Amino acid sequence: MNPMAPSTPIAPRVRLRASAVITRPGQVLLHRAEGDMFWALPGGGIEPGESAAQALVREMHEELGAAVEPGALACVVENFFAYGGVDYHEMGLYLHAQPQPGSLLDQTPGPYVGAEGHRGLEFAWFARASLAELDLRPAFLGEALATLGDVPGHVQHFVHRDPAPAPTDQKAPA
């Protein structure tokens, strides 16, 4: 037995996140963090005592300075993934949202530059028809965003698990 190896596996971090499904005819707003190669829906963590709608409004203001009006719940996502060497179990509440009249997202075509703390963010509109060509996280989003919200009042539920990464340090048994 390796004395340096932990005796019990490290539990994944549990996280509650609100995501904004912001659309305009034929397009959806996505963002990515500086250094990341993948795109995702904008949003962020829900703070204790905060509703998902309040979190969306706060996150869009903090990260982009954009005012949005949250709408109906589009879907609930149980997302299991690894990021930065940490395993996550994320519960996501994905809400429809619209830019408030006169806001940055309503007035200019983008792309837009934002920030999360000291890390830069890029926001851009993408044609729904081209989403399958993007590295989108969670991976099911490309297909789901093509129809998400087509049935008013219908909330979808997704469970997504990223494939486990291949081991990088394979040693022959002693």
Cβ atoms < 10 Å from Cβ of 164: 9
Percentage of the chain modeled with pLDDT above 70:
87
pLDDT(160) > 90: yes
Residue with tokens 């019990």: 8
Average pLDDT over residues 133-147: 89
Average pLDDT over residues 16-29: 94
Domains and CATH numbers, the chain: 13-161 (3.90.79.10)
pLDDT(11) > 90: no
Non-local (6+) Cβ contacts of 54 within 8 A are none
Cα–Cα dist 34/28, whole Å: 20
Cα–Cα dist 76/91, whole Å: 7
